[in-house]
Structure 1
Amino acid sequence: MQSKKTYTVQEATKKLEYYCAYQERCHQEVRNKLETMYMIPEAIDVIIVHLLEHNFLNEERFAKTFVSGKFRIKAWGRRRLTFELKKKDIGKVNINQALAEIENTEYIEVFNDLAEKRVKLIKENNIFKKRKKLIDYLLYRGWESHLVYEKAYELIK
């Protein structure tokens, strides 16, 4: 029978410092990691406070990094970004600050590029089905519906 590996508060703190230094983390990810390490709630609170005080954990920085990465690499729209950040328990103020970092011109440019590339990939003869596929794809990516419908009717006639 295997026994669970246990950690002292100091060992867990060091481990979590490396965990947070490697990549930006949100509070929820850190708490989940500590729970998988079988830490008691009091120790979890102590470690999270330590990480906050020593700037290993910063929710505002996480939100900004998350938004810029997912927007630039995965081309997610504001709605999807907001949804994913809310799932990670990020506060509304931090979400709004992170989203404000995206320039409107860059946002529209990325949206237009994504829509035009996707239209070329859709192999459908029926214009209504083709338009629906494009709309579904863009809405899933979190782009605002007014932008999606305008672009779909503009590109597929």
Structure 2
Amino acid sequence: MQHNQKSYTVEEALQKLMHYCAYRDRSQKEVEDKLDNMKMIPEAKEQIIISLMQEGFLNEERFARSFVRGKFRIKKWGRVKIIQELKKRGISSPIIKLGLSEIKESDYRQTLYELAEKKLEKIKEPNAYKKKGKLADHLLRKGYESTLVFDCINDLTD
């Protein structure tokens, strides 16, 4: 059984990865995984990653910032979930902190309250205690900090 996998020169791989990174910001780990899939040797991988960084195609801080903006604005994720996902992608704590600076505190709280109000309307639960529990579960799954979640729920249900 023969596997016909294309082999790439360093130049071809670099071109391919430039397109990959230009399409949307990528983390270094995503680029390394892509190079592994392309069966590139460690020396070539290192050379390509350095080139991508020098040419501005690969930038962890820019990746973290755009990731945070996207997940917060579009998916309405909280900081807890965003941090978990960035860690999974091999982003360091200082860079995660820089990324999180993209979220204004006032927008963050407003989004939490909007999510909570929207969800509260949909919960068909007569028991007030269970209703609060379902709302809390939803907001915690979205990645909001428990202290903020409980403050929000108390504000909305009292």
Scaled by the length of structure 2, the TM-score of the pair is 0.95
- Structure 2 partner of 1:5: 6
Which deviates more, 123-132 or 10-19?
123-132
User: What is the total number of aligned residue pairs between the two structures?
Assistant: 157
Partner in structure 2 of residue 62 of structure 1: 63
CA distance in 2, matches of 1:2, 1:82: 39
Deviation of the 1:11 alpha carbon? 0.5
Cα RMSD of the aligned pairs, angstroms, is 1.1
**Deviations 1:55-96 (CA, angstroms, capped at 9, x unpaired):** 000000000000001000011111111111111111111111
Structure 1 stretches of 4+ with a deviation exceeding 3 A read none
Matched to 2:23, the amino acid is Y
Residues 33-112 of structure 1: pairs in structure 2 closer than 5 A: 33-112=34-113
When structure 1 is superposed on structure 2, of 111-120 and 92-101 the one drifting more is: 92-101
Residues 109-120 of structure 1 mapped to structure 2, 5 A cutoff? 109-120=110-121
Q: Hey, what's the Cα distance between the residues in 2 that align with 1:91 and 1:153?
A: 35
State the Cα distance separating 1:101 from its structure 2 match: 2.2
Q: Distance in 1 between matches of 2:27 and 2:99?
A: 14
Structure 2 residue ranges without an equivalent (≥5): none
The one-letter code of the counterpart of 1:156 is T
Give 1:138's aligned residue: 139
Residues 107-138 of structure 1, C-alpha deviation per residue, up to 9 Å, x if partnerless? 11111111111111112112222111110110
Unaligned runs of 5+ in 1: none
Structure 1 distance, partners of 2:78, 2:50, is: 33
CA distance in 2, matches of 1:22, 1:93: 25
1:32 is aligned to 33
Moved more, 119-128 or 65-74: 119-128
The DSSP-based 3-state class of the residue aligned with 1:101 is coil
In 2, the alpha carbon distance for the partners of 1:146 and 1:33 equals: 39
Q: Could you tell me how far apart the structure 1 residues matched to 2:126 and 2:34 are?
A: 49
Deviations 1:21-62 (A, max 9, x none): 011000000000111111111111111011001000000000
Q: TM-score, normalised by structure 1?
A: 0.95
User: What's the CA shift for 1:154?
Assistant: 2.9
